[in-house]
Every structure is written in C-alpha cells, then in structure tokens.
Amino acid sequence: VSRYWCELAWLGGEGPEPGVLLELDGERIASVRAGPPDGAERLTGLTLPGLANAHSHAFQRALRGRTERGGRGSFWTWREQMYALAESLDDVYALTKATFAEMALAGITLVGEFDYLHDSEAVMQAAADVGIRLTLLDACYLHGGLPRFRDAGVEAWAERVSELQPGPGVRLGAAIHSVRAVDPDSARVVAEFAADRGWPLHAHVSEQPAENEWCLAEYGATPLQLLQPAISERFTAVHATHTTEPLPQGFTCLCPTTERDLADGIGVPDAKFTLGSDSQSVIDLFEEARAVELDERLRTGVRGTYTAPQLAAAATSSGYASLGWPEGGRIEPGALADLVTVRLDGPRLAGTRPEDALDAVIFAATRDDVSTVIVSGRELDRDPARVAAELQQAIPR
C-alpha cells in the first residue's frame, strides 16, 4: 500500500477538495478521505484522474510543422501529405513510442490508438515500454486509401484482429475507418464482432461536408444513419463535426486542435463527449478541453456553455469509458490508480485561489504544468530531454 496526500484533488464535483489522502493498493485506489498528510507522499498542486486521449494516430506526429506551407488548402490537401508519410514510414515502433512518451509528459495515462497502419505489435509494445495504458482500435479499412491501410475483406480484418494478443495495460477495440472506407454490410460485421466481445467501437463520422454529400449520393442516408446498426453505448463517433442529427447513444469524440488545423469546422458535442489529439498538431488535453468551450464562444457569442467540471470529465472518466476502461478516469475507491498532478506554483498559474484551481487548470494550464503522472499506482519517470531526443531520432527527415 502506498499513500499520497493531494494538496487539492478533483473528485468529480463542482470544484477541487483540499487535503485529500489517497491510499493505493496495487493498481487500484483503496481509499479516498480528507485529512492531514500524515507522512504520505505529497502531491503539490491540483491532482486529477489520469487523462484519456480518446483518439490518436500516433504516426501523424511526424507531420507537425510540415503541412502549413504550400498555399491555400483543406483537409484534402493535408491528407495527401499524410498519405505520403504513411506510405514511406518504416519504423512504426520508434515513432509511436516517442509520441506516446510525449503523451506521458502531457499527463495522458490512457491512449486510444485508432490504427490503420496495422503494425499492432509495434503499437502495443510502444505503450508497454512507455508505461501508459492503451486501447488498440484496429481499424477496418476496405475501400480507398493506401494498400497498407486495407484488408482484403471484412473477414480478413476479423481474422487478423482475432489473433491479437494484448499484454497487461492493453485492451482491444474495433474501428470502422469511415463510411467511405467500409461499406454498410462490412460495417455491420465489424459491429457484431465488437459487440460479441464487449469491445468499444469507434468510427470517424462526418468529419467533412463532402463526406456527407458523398454518403447521401451513394446511399441516400447520412453517415450516422448508415451506421445506425453499429451504434450502441460502446460506440464513439469521432469528430461528428457535420452531423445533422443527434447521436442517440454512446460518445462523441472531439479533436478541436486537429479540426481547427485542418479547417474541418466546429463540432457540437453530444451529452457524453471525449477528447483526442488525433493528428498530434499539438498534444495537450487541456488545450483540447478548453477549445470545446472557447470555439463555442466564438460561434455563439455566449460564454459558459461547458463548465470546467464537464470539460474535465470529457478528458478523464468519459474518455476512459469510451475506450473500454469504465473503472478508470475517476478518483474513488476501487478505481484504477491513474493520477495526474498539475502544479499551481509555476509562472502560469501562481496566485490561483484554491477554489478556482480546476477552472484555472482547464482554461489556462498547458501540459508543461504537469508535475507528476501515476499509472496503475506507479509514478512514471518523465524526462523531457529524453523524449525530445527520441522524437528527433524517430521522425523521418
């Protein structure tokens, strides 16, 4: 049993609680109570549940800074550059590991890797070596894209995915790349495969208006209507920026820093929403969280549609649940012992009143304010210089 004393902790309520003593037993939180430090290890600042990055394509980290020149463009011109990278990338392990290490620096304790390069062993090994949890969402991709993305058919996808052997800290999920890449009959097979195993199922949905137009012309239905048989409590609609009807159940995953980078538009989250770094234009879930509210302010001229506790839940408990870890992303007895502490004594947040700490962190912190990251009861060894060196090595010139 190890004991931590949090100067401030967010336990899921409207604001932080002062002086919270946590007892950890192995990978779980055994008890949560108010009290003095009493010899426990101190976590100074605000402690939150570990952050869940619910939508990632790790390899796209190599595109940072490389897609901004070349004149006026769109998602579609960006996609050409992404395809060129995917086609030439050899060492998926090194790039994924370095990117996951950057995520660990940012307080991310669980990542959902939406994988269409299908180097699954490399992705699972990368998460294990960095020490963060992973949900590997192996994406069915049958039409379009690059040969590397595609399985010969949905049966070939199912056979490949059936053989995956997740180690500790890894769970599996399924993904339908998009309605463009997976026809409705195949999508149904993927959904049944996931349902039989109780796996989460994720799909890119209505990222672009052109996707809606194509889908209506091809099938006489919107992407969400077409995916109706796949939608359950375990379903996540990624982006859902241009959906024209509400998601009946499951989660919406917003990726605002990617959506703004790609000129995709502003998503409207449904009640349960999660956050993802997607194309890795930045890796900072505080930035993703506040962007949901700040983009809404620009669109509507109204402040306060989403509160800090709602945005914090998107980054923690909702993200964990959408990735198939419902026992994580919360600080309560029995929950997974995944924690992140944000310092309040650095130049960015010094002077924050304790009662404002959650608002200050959600609306002003960056990942550089993260001081401690604990996964499964163990503190990660985080070294920015080492991560920078790994990225330098792993990113193709």
Return the closest-CA partner of residue 150 out of 63, 83, 66: 83
User: Is 278 annotated in the active site?
Assistant: yes
Interatomic CA distance for residues 322 and 186, integer angstroms: 22
Task: Determine which one of 115, 278, 338, 369 is catalytic.
Answer: 278
For Zn ion (CB under 5 A), the number of binding residues is 1
Shortest CB 279 distance to Zn ion, Å:
7
Q: In angstroms, what is the minimal distance from the CB of 180 to Zn ion?
A: 13
Least distance from C-beta 195 to Zn ion, angstroms? 22
Is 138 in contact with 115 (CB distance < 8 Å)?
A: yes
Cβ atoms of residues 247 and 240 within 8 Å: yes
Question: How many of the other CB atoms lie within 10 Å of CB of 167?
Answer: 10
Tokens of 91: 């060492």
Residue type, 188: R
DSSP state of 126: H
Mask for 210-229, x = binds Zn ion (CB under 5 A): --------------------
Contacts of 38 (CB under 8 A, 6+ apart): 3, 5, 21
Tell me whether residue 57 is one of the annotated catalytic residues. Answer: no
Nearer to Zn ion, 138 or 278 (CB): 278
Query: How far is Cα 340 from Cα 47, in angstroms, rounded to an integer?
Result: 6
Report helix, strand and coil shares of the chain as percent, to nearest 5: 40, 25, 40
| Residue showing the smallest CB distance to Zn ion in the complex | 278
Exposed, middle or buried, 217 (CB in 10 Å: 0-12/13-18/19+)? exposed
CB of residue 96 to Zn ion, shortest distance in Å: 15
Smallest separation, CB 344 to Zn ion (Å):
33
Residue 258 vs 352, nearer CB to Zn ion: 258
CB nearer to Zn ion: pick between 277 and 376? 277
In this structure, are residues 294 and 373 in contact, taking their beta carbons and an 8 Å threshold?
A: no
> Tokens at residue 315, please?
């980054």
The CA-CA-CA angle for residues 69, 80, 72, to 5°, reads 35
- Which residues sit opposite 340 in a β-bridge? 48, 373
Closest distance of CB 160 from Zn ion, Å: 20
Task: Closer to Zn ion by CB, 278 or 369: give it.
Answer: 278
* DSSP 8-state code for residue 356: G
Catalytic residue (one of 239, 242, 338, 359): 239
Q: How far is the CB of 386 from Zn ion (least distance, A)?
A: 28
What residues between 231 and 290 interact with Zn ion by CB under 5 A? 278
Q: Which two tokens stand for residue 369?
A: 């304010």
- Token readout for 151 is 């399985």
CA 114 to chain centroid, in Å, comes to 10
By CB under 5 A, name the binding residues for Zn ion: 278
Which residues are catalytically annotated? 239, 278
